[in-house]
Structure 1
């Protein structure tokens, strides 16, 4: 019987359009059916926080979005749980 790999947690760093003016960026992740949002003042602060969390909860991935919503970069920590390459 094949051993199942743990599901990768994905942290998205995105602009926070719903937060107050002082909190312009957020780290988003899903926990089951619930979405968790963590506000930050700058994109760099959000990236640092997301990467720290991802390193503690491997396998994980950080996806950094720009102000236009496009993906700027990604960081992956731990084994990739997918069975397909890429």
Structure 2
């Protein structure tokens, strides 16, 4: 099964960075700008036939999934 493309939106010294494949691919003044571009990048991956996901770093430094393109990876608990 192909790996899901993951785009991380990370806070760094008052700026926001998008990381993909452990590389910084964009720096932004606001979280909103970074999330908008990360969504566009993930959507483009999905349009090309790949699964993709945008994860955003919270104030607690933990990542939360904000957008998933393709099958949702969340397992159903039962």
| Shorter-chain TM band | 0.7 to 0.9
The question of 1:52 aligning with 2:43 is answered no
Gaps of 5+ in 1: none
**Partner Cα separation in structure 2 for residue 61 and residue 41 of structure 1:** 22
Structure 2 unmatched runs, 5+: none
User: How many residues matched?
Assistant: 70
Task: Name the larger-Rg structure.
Answer: 1
The answer to whether the aligner puts 1:63 opposite 2:50 as a matched pair is no
Normalised by the size of structure 1, how large is the TM-score?
0.69
What residue in structure 2 maps to residue 29 of structure 1? 20
TM-fit CA distance, 1:60: 0.2
CA contact (8 A) 2:53 2:65 kept: no
Q: CA RMSD in A?
A: 2.0
Structure with greater helix percent: 2
Q: State how far apart, in whole Å, the 1-side matches of 2:38 and 2:3 are.
A: 17
CA-CA distance at 1:12 after TM superposition: 0.7
TM-score, normalising length: structure 2: 0.75
